[in-house]
Amino acid sequence: MKLLCLLLLLLTFLLAHETGADEILGGKEARRHSRPYMAFLDIKLCNDLFSCGGFLIRNDFVMTAAHCVGDFISVRLGAHNINKREETWQIINVTKQFPHPEYNAERLLNDIMLLKLEKKAKQTTAVRPIPLPSTSNSVLPGKECIIAGWGGTKLKSSGSDTLQEAEVRVTNPIYCKNFTCFDERSLLCVGTPKSIKTTFSGDSGGPLVCSGVAHGIVSYGNNKYPPSVFTKIAHYSSWINQILNAN
């Protein structure tokens, strides 16, 4: 009995702490290549294979969540259906992973990572970087944004073949106070429990796009319903610029 409780506790802990964000519910299939910055990451960690979302921010750099770190990552750009090879695909290996130096896996803070690509992606109609917000110019509660992803994560292998997207609203940080380590300076609270219709979660590491700018990175949630927690990209501008300038 004791052992069972312990196992259940462990399972609950794992489920709560594994990236909560799995799939887009209430979303729809994105128009083919309408989000040319989207990246699908194939990640190898020990003997485990999993995937994350990400987004191209420079011809040779992809941004994602730090919890997507692996021993080896390859990036697929220009994809719509990830299970059917498309002419538009560009598959590029990552040569260097830059998780944020203060990434904290227990508190899920500073969940941001930059990936340097082995070679520059070729810009096409299906592959193009997305702009980032300028320093401290973040989105405010009430803003309607878009999330997109294929929904494949460690927890669920049953994602979607095609890119899905959903509209979500940035909400008051009060809605995220149930997440014990929520810090509104570095995180965005997205969706309210009432907004089930436009619920999602989005792939871990995928972008929150507001007016054509990537403002957030899907970090975690409670797995079932909103709100979810996103890394606030604007908070990390100086770290991002430092890495980009030095590499």
Ligand X SMILES: *[C@@H]1O[C@H](CO)[C@@H](O)[C@H](O)[C@H]1NC(C)=O
Residues that are catalytic: 67, 111, 204
Minimum distance, C-beta of residue 88 to ligand X, in the bound complex (Å): 17
Q: Between 71 and 144, name the residue whose CB sits nearer to ligand X.
A: 71
Residue 141 near ligand X by CB under 6 A: no
Work out whether 178 is an interface residue with ligand X (CB under 6 A): yes
Contacts of 172 (CB under 8 A, 6+ apart): 141, 189
Q: How far is the CB of 94 from ligand X (least distance, A)?
A: 9
Q: How far is CA 31 from CA 41, 131, 167, in A?
A: 20, 20, 14
3: which residues sit within 8 A by CB, 6+ positions away?
Answer: none
Token pair 């699908």 in the structure block, residue = 40
Which residue among 93, 125, 136, 247 contacts ligand X (CB under 6 A)?
93
> Which residues are paired to 146 by β-bridges?
167, 209
Q: Least distance (Å) from ligand X to the CB of residue 217?
A: 21
Are 92 and 74 contacting, i.e. CB atoms less than 8 angstroms apart? Answer: yes
Binding test (CB under 6 A) with ligand X, winner from 167, 193, 223, 239: 193
Is residue 175 within the footprint of ligand X (CB under 6 A)? yes
Nearer CB in complex with ligand X: 66/189 = 189
**Least separation in angstroms between CB 137 and ligand X:** 27
Q: Report how far residue 147's alpha carbon sits from residue 166's, in angstroms, rounded to the nearest whole number.
A: 6
- Those residues whose C-beta lies under 8 Å from the C-beta of residue 92, and which sit 6 or more positions away, are 74, 75, 77, 117, 118, 119, 121
By CB under 6 A, tell whether 95 contacts ligand X: no
Question: Which residues between 52 and 91 bind ligand X (CB under 6 A)?
Answer: 74
Least separation in angstroms between CB 75 and ligand X: 10
Number of residues interacting with ligand X: please give it, by CB under 6 A.
5
- The smaller minimum CB distance to ligand X, of residues 175 and 220, is found at 175
Q: Residue 137 or 178: which CB sits closer to ligand X?
A: 178
DSSP lists the bridge partners of residue 48 as 45
Complex with ligand X: residue 108 or 112, whichever CB lies closer: 108
Please give the residue ranges that form the binding site for ligand X (CB under 6 A): 74, 93, 175, 178, 193
